Amino acid sequence: MATLIDQFIGYLGNERGLALNTLESYSRDLKQYQEFLEKGGSETLVSASQSTIVAYLMYLRKQGKATATIARRLAALKAFYHFLIKENVVDRDPTDALASPKLERKLPKVLTVEEVDLLLAQPDTKTPHGLRDKAMLELLYATGIRVSELTSLNIGDVDLQEAVVRCRGKGSKERLVPMGTMAVNALSAYLSQGRPKIIQDPKERALFVNHHGSRLTRQGFWKIVKKYAAQAGIRKEITPHTLRHSFATHLLENGADLRAVQEMLGHADISTTQIYTHITKSRLKDVYSRTHPRA
């Protein structure tokens, strides 16, 4: 049975081109489902019925899992059984009539322009690592790319002359995103004065490297952001995507076209981008209620 999961993950990686993080998430979810079946003892991945899957979803609910987590687990099961049908391993899909639980769309947390300025002013640009951190933060806020896209960048993906960055998003789709003068200047300083002092192997292609001289990880970057947020005295809850959310919100607040923002963020569906219009509306209402004499 574990082989079926491995075959499915291989299919998602090789034929669908899904990102490593997504593959790991699918694998983890399916293996936990398999453990649930093994504890029950009566059904396997192949013989599982719809009632068993409903029992599994109810079990997750009793465990206190969030609605979003349960929806993701069900999505993994639906994709898995669709694959098994395609491969003629099963002749019926036990998830076919099951609808995903309705998700409450939470508005992502964003920083104000002043808070972004404060955060981006924290790195000590007199040091090689400070130059690196400044370049990463400026680039992330200038382009709105995902943290995974940022850490995956190679030197050849940045064109300082044209002021664009080439990144690979979900499904390995490539897109070119423009960047501003501040990001170009920060990257230029890092590449000329910072990176050469951090790398140990001159053949290293990673744009951003850790203190060992190898590619910086998402976790490594996240520790850096949390450090500077604390240093800046920013008390808001910050996530790895906070600068991405702030990038999109600030663009829309200043009149950017929704389709253009969608393209820069790499969203396949514009409905994903529209969440940021809700943020700008809620902020306008907040400003109105605080400032209008008859609010």
- Give the pLDDT score at 27: 93
Cα separation, 247 vs 88, in Å, equals 46
Residues 222-249 pLDDT 10s: 999 999 999 999 988 888 788 888 888 8
- Give the pLDDT score at 289: 66
Cα separation, 263 vs 177, in Å, equals 8
- Give the pLDDT score at 255: 80
Residues 35-55 pLDDT 10s: 999 988 778 899 999 999 999
**Long-range CB contacts (< 8 A, 24+ apart) of 104-108?**
104/67, 105/275, 105/278, 107/275, 107/278, 107/279, 107/282, 108/239, 108/241, 108/242, 108/245, 108/275, 108/276, 108/279
Cα separation, 288 vs 294, in Å, equals 9
Kindly state the tokens that stand for 193: 């004065």
Kindly state the tokens that stand for 142: 């200038």
Edge-to-edge, what's the strand order for the sheet holding 158-159?
A: 158-159, 164-168, 174-178
Helix (H) or strand (E) run with residue 258 in it:
helix 258-265
- Give the pLDDT score at 292: 53
Cα separation, 122 vs 255, in Å, equals 29
Q: ∠ CA(117), CA(119), CA(122), 5° rounding? A: 110
- Average pLDDT, consecutive stretches of 10 residues, N- to C-terminus, the chain (295 residues): 84 85 91 91 87 91 88 92 92 85 68 92 97 96 90 95 88 83 96 95 94 92 94 88 87 80 77 68 60 56
Q: ∠ CA(260), CA(144), CA(70), 5° rounding? A: 100
Query: Are the beta carbons of 198 and 209 closer than 8 angstroms?
Result: yes
Cα separation, 136 vs 207, in Å, equals 10
Residues marked as catalytic: 146, 170, 241, 244, 267, 276
- Give the pLDDT score at 198: 95
Beta partners for residue 158, in sequence order: 165
What is the dihedral angle through the alpha carbons of 21, 27, 29, 30, rounded to the nearest 10 degrees?
Answer: 160
Domains within the chain, CATH numbers bracketed: 2-86 (1.10.150.130), 113-290 (1.10.443.10)
- Axis-axis angle for helices 20-40, 2-14 (nearest 10): 160
pTM (2 decimals)? 0.62
Provide the residue type at 94 as one letter: P
Q: ∠ CA(280), CA(283), CA(289), 5° rounding? A: 145
- Give the pLDDT score at 293: 63
- Give the pLDDT score at 252: 81
